[in-house]
Amino acid sequence: MSAKARFASYFRNPIFLRGFGYGGIFTATLSFYGFVFDNWRSQKKKEKDAEEQLKIAFEDGDKVTRGQSILKYGSPEMGNGVRYYSNFALVYDQQKRTPAWVAEQITANLLKGTANRKHSKFKPDPGVPEMFSAENSDYWKSGWSRGHMAPAGDNKYNQESMNESFYLSNVVPQNLDNNAGFWNRLEMYCRDLTKKYPSVHVLSGPLFMPKGEEDGKRYVKYQVIGQNGVAVPTHLFKVIVVEDKLGEPVAMATFIVPNEPINFDHKLTEYQVPMETLEGVVGMKIIPKLDRQIVGDLCEIEGCKLMDRTEFELYFIGRKLGSANTLHRLDKVWGELEEKKLQPDQYLKDLYNRKLVELGKTEEKTTQEGVR
């Protein structure tokens, strides 16, 4: 038997193995129970600490400390921080899937740009989590139009700010006639104010107002549209503050406008309310840093007169003439004047004649190219 084999057989000796085995098991058992005991002790200590902490958090009367314990897993997030864009700022309402409010500052200079809404598309705001965002499909065939809060017309300075204004975070479901009519004229009035005031601040947003029903009680009732359930506001609000050359506030006015068609018989002043009324309805302090004592009533000072029917029709016939790209289209728009018994002013006549020549030339050119 070689030394190596003897060495190996020694380890195979049952006696030796038994001795080693019992010794090993004994040691292992001891250390196992030691481990379990230590664990148990530290567990108890942790339990004691946790219990103590809960006690202290409550009993020392520090509500913040207590709150931090209560909110161990974080506070519910409403995602309602202020969002900043090129030319407006807003707070988004994840529950209603519309803005809560949109703020703007408009000036004559910023309105001068040439950005075109034809290059912009309504789409979800990439900054809003998808699960809280509205989609175009929500509005499609809903019976409601996509109404800008910061209007596209206030964002002509560059294409980027106009494109941002088409984010659905800046949009609410709005009655189409209201949007294209009364509200449109109100937006025009805001822009018109920049001719006189160097800076005009505007705050706009949706409202959900209670209404009395047959049972004599009042309810807030509103439609929700599309898969995402975008909330249709019962009213819209707009707050206007005009400033002088020094940037000092001069006058302001607050309006609450029903989200329904409003014809030319109605005056803007019918919808003027004290700012406090709006604050009560919407549950927000509006323009908290404005000293209301020193500013006048915009409607007393400026009249708050919107365009009348004739002015309005002539205005957008002018816009349509300007954007006409065929002679056929030009004449069709020109024909609207007669249909609506409107007299074109000199500006409109000149515009028509200028476009007539311009489009005549281009069409002559294209037909010649076609022949060639």
Partner DNA sequence: CGGATTGATATG
Partner DNA sequence: CATATCAATCCG
The residues that bridge with 257 in the sheet, in sequence order, are 236
Decide: is 226 part of the binding site for DNA (CB under 7 A).
Answer: no
The reply to whether 320 sits near DNA by the rule CB under 7 A is: yes
Count of other CB atoms within 10 angstroms of residue 25: 11
Applying CB under 7 A, among 117, 229, 344, 358 the residue interacting with DNA is 117
Q: Which of 148, 235, 266, 328 is catalytic?
A: 148
Please tell me whether residue 347 binds DNA under the rule CB under 7 A.
no
User: Mapped to the 3 state alphabet, what secondary structure does 237-299 carry?
Assistant: EEEEEEECCCCCEEEEEEEEEECCCCCCCCCHHHHEECHHHHHHHHCCCCCCCCCCCCCEEHH
Least distance between DNA and beta carbon 89 (Å): 18
Query: Does the protein bind DNA through residue 156 (CB under 7 A)?
Result: yes
Q: Which stretch binds DNA (CB under 7 A): 114-122, 201-209, 219-227, 358-366?
A: 114-122
Q: Is 153 in the site for DNA (CB under 7 A)?
A: yes
Six-digit token pair at 234?
A: 């019962």
355 lies in the site for DNA, by CB under 7 A: no
CA distance 79 to 345: 51
Beta bridge mates, 102: 90, 204
Query: Quick check: 180 binds DNA (CB under 7 A)?
Result: yes
CA atoms of 200 and 194, how far apart (whole Å): 6
Give how far Cα 230 sits from Cα of 146, 149, 152, 347, Å. Answer: 11, 15, 21, 43
Q: How far apart are the first and last CA of the chain?
A: 113
How far is Cα 235 from Cα 315, in angstroms, rounded to an integer?
26
Is 148 a catalytic site residue?
A: yes
- Report the chain's C-alpha Rg in angstroms: 36
Nearest distance, CB of residue 121 and DNA, angstroms: 6
- The residue (of 65 and 158) whose beta carbon lies closer to DNA is 158
Q: Which residues pair with 106 in a beta bridge?
A: 200
For residue 36, state whether it binds DNA (rule: CB under 7 A). Answer: no
Tell me: does residue 145 bind DNA (CB under 7 A): yes
How near is the Cβ of 228 to DNA at its closest, in Å? 14
Asked if 206 interacts with DNA (CB under 7 A), we say no
Contact positions with DNA (CB under 7 A) in 258-297: none
The DSSP H or E segment spanning 231 is strand 230-231
| 181 near DNA (CB under 7 A) | yes
Q: Which of 87, 98, 133, 184 is the binder for DNA (CB under 7 A)?
A: 184
Residues near DNA (CB under 7 A): 117, 121-122, 139-141, 145-148, 151-154, 156, 174, 176-177, 179-181, 184, 187-188, 315-316, 319-320, 326, 332
Catalytic sites, residue numbers: 148
